[in-house]
Amino acid sequence: MKKMLGILFALVFACTLLAGCATQPGAAGGTEAAQTKDGALEVKVLDIGQGDAILIRTADQTIFIDTGDLDEHPKLEAALKKENIKTVDKLIITHPHADHLGGASVLFKNCEVKAVYDNGEPTTTKFYRDYLKTIKSKSIPYKALVDGDVLDFGGGVSFRVLSPTAEMVKEGGKKNGKPNLNINSIVGRLEYGDFTMLFTGDAEKETEKSTLSRHSAADLKSLVLKSPHHGSKTSSTTAFLKAVTPEVVAISCGAGNDYGHPHKEVLERYKKFNIKVYRTDQGGTIAITSDGKTYSVKEEK
């Protein structure tokens, strides 16, 4: 029965692509709300509880990478109001777990979403089906991202996709032989002049290993790392950190969460590599600003 459901929703997904892709995603938005001071890049890892919701502003566009959990809608709505977000030029969903996709309905309701991207891996949950239906009903341009794709964020900012590959998505993410949606999380490197930041969704050690097998350390090296999987011990392997060599890591997690994120051994690993740690559960929203040459990080508790 589960296999039949998977096939059914895959077909729904394919139909959505045909109905919603009349326009190619990726054009610069140029919305007034998206513009940053003096063309600077601003990245905010929002304090959204136990989930990921990352707001990116360039001189030309407003982008969201993930949207938080189903039960954190009020926090996302408050963030949209505080940041005066009415247009989202690009919405990127790293993978279809509730704590990353759950707030998409809030963006669809409160903002004009101009393009949607995800990893192309379907699931059977109602909120995922509703997400697909909304993309179709609003005729929002859609694209599944794979290794090698590059998105233009405007203002000289680009986003280079490093994982998953099309073959990985076709096979479906698996861990120890069992389905695991984390494995095919979108991993992408934001580039703006000399500034770089690596986004990882809930990538696990299997994702990290496969990404390292296809890309050189130079492809991954980044000043800032969005901690994979909320600082879980499933991720942030020594080999991966050696390749990325970040100066700063931003951990998005909820205070007192049931998973114990971030895990002690991962924090010790970050310390060993002399990586400065910022956590949303302790310092609130993590705001990173860059002019393409230097960057700064501050907490917005």
d(CA 251, CA 46): 10
Query: Can you give the pLDDT at residue 38?
Result: 64
d(CA 85, CA 93): 18
Place of tokens 């998105």: 151
Cis preceding linkage at 164, omega within 30: yes
Local structure of 120: helix, strand or coil: coil
Query: Can you give the pLDDT at residue 37?
Result: 58
Tell which residue, 81, 120, 123, has the closest CA to residue 102.
123
CA distances from 39 to 25, 57, 85, 208, 240 (A): 22, 9, 17, 33, 32
Query: Can you give the pLDDT at residue 20?
Result: 38
Local structure of 58: helix, strand or coil: coil
CA distances from 210 to 26, 71, 156, 213 (A): 27, 33, 29, 5
Query: Can you give the pLDDT at residue 36?
Result: 56
Give the β-pairing of 187-192 and 53-57.
Answer: unpaired
Alpha helices in the chain (DSSP H): 2-20, 73-83, 98-101, 104-110, 126-137, 166-171, 205-214, 217-220, 238-244, 264-272, 280-283
Tell which residue, 276, 269, 265, 277, has the closest CA to residue 240.
269
For 83-126, how does the pLDDT look when each residue is reduced to its tens digit (9 = 90+)? 999 999 999 999 999 999 999 999 999 999 999 999 999 999 99
Query: Can you give the pLDDT at residue 34?
Result: 46
CA distances from 154 to 63, 130, 157, 261, 282 (A): 10, 30, 6, 34, 32
Query: What DSSP string runs through 217-262?
Result: HHHH--SEEE-GGGG-TTS--HHHHHHH--SEEEE---TT-TT-PS
Q: With a cut of 50, which residues of the chain have pLDDT below it?
A: 1-34
Tell which residue, 224, 225, 187, has the closest CA to residue 204.
187
**Cβ pair 141, 23 in contact under 8 A:** yes
pTM of the model: 0.89
Question: Percent helix, strand and coil across the chain, each rounded to 5?
Answer: 35, 25, 40
Copy the structure tokens of residue 177: 């032989």
Can you give the residue ranges of every domain in the chain? 36-299
Cis preceding linkage at 262, omega within 30: yes
> Which CATH number does 36-299 carry?
3.60.15.10
Query: Can you give the pLDDT at residue 301?
Result: 85
